[in-house]
Structure 1
């Protein structure tokens, strides 16, 4: 049933798989698509070899934004948002949330620039694992952006990590 754009109507029945749409119609295309999801975490850290306020122990509410691309599966989904949440919760968040980052991250100065690369590496490792490789078709991390404050962030992109 077609309708005129802008026309308001109440849906009388829900579309049914196998009746109104065939299973092979669920995937509209076979092109790579980027899906983005963001998370927040609270953590404390301090910087070494730095003369400024950040040399002292202090905390932030960080925001991390992931850009993950993949090919759509037979249902038209590239990356399920719930899967990204699972990866975040199981593989990454435990090292960051309500932690003293100087203790839980590998030996490094806990700058946003260092941390964003570490976070990228964790996501890439998870996407390449047997657990997710079979459900996310050719999934890869395209970018990670780490906000240290609402107006300041560090970002890494896939092409920079390949150099």
Structure 2
């Protein structure tokens, strides 16, 4: 492979026109991963998780939508802000049994609560409503090999 230094940096309105920035009209999903640390224990469970313990959770957020005039569906920085304000601020370095609604703090219960928090906030952002942005999938890892998955179609009424 022959590596080359660009001869010229592309300039907007000279080398590429603004109407060319949006290449398509397809729905596209973007995904971002985050971690947070928290402690919990499980009720009515006979196993080691009945005792208080902690996890470094990993949350994988996938949001889809239609691109705007410059070809962006959802800005990765905006996904980070959603996570930081709606999830991290409420759960990081916390005792989950104390801060979540009354529930057993299983990954299966937590992922639905997380979906509800993120979806409610996403619906309040007008520019993303214009692009029909929506959560498509969440994955919540308790360990590197154990996780819960939630998909859009599963959240819709059956």
1:43 aligned residue: 38
Match of residue 112, structure 2, among 108, 117, 140? 117
2:126 aligned residue: 133
RMSD: 1.0
What does 1:5-44 align with in structure 2 at a 5 Å threshold? 6-44=1-39
Q: Distance in 1 between matches of 2:3 and 2:32?
A: 32
1:135 Cα deviation from its structure 2 partner:
4.2
Match of residue 82, structure 2, among 84, 87, 90? 87
TM-score (norm 1): 0.93
Match of residue 156, structure 2, among 143, 147, 162? 162
**Partner secondary structure for residue 141 of structure 1:** strand
4+ runs deviating over 4 angstroms: none
Alpha carbons 2:122, 2:128 under 8 Å: kept: no
Q: Distance in 2 between matches of 1:94 and 1:67?
A: 20
Alignment of 1:143 with 2:137, yes or no, is: yes
Identify unmatched segments of 5+ residues in structure 1: 1-5
What does 1:38-77 align with in structure 2 at a 5 Å threshold? 38-77=33-72
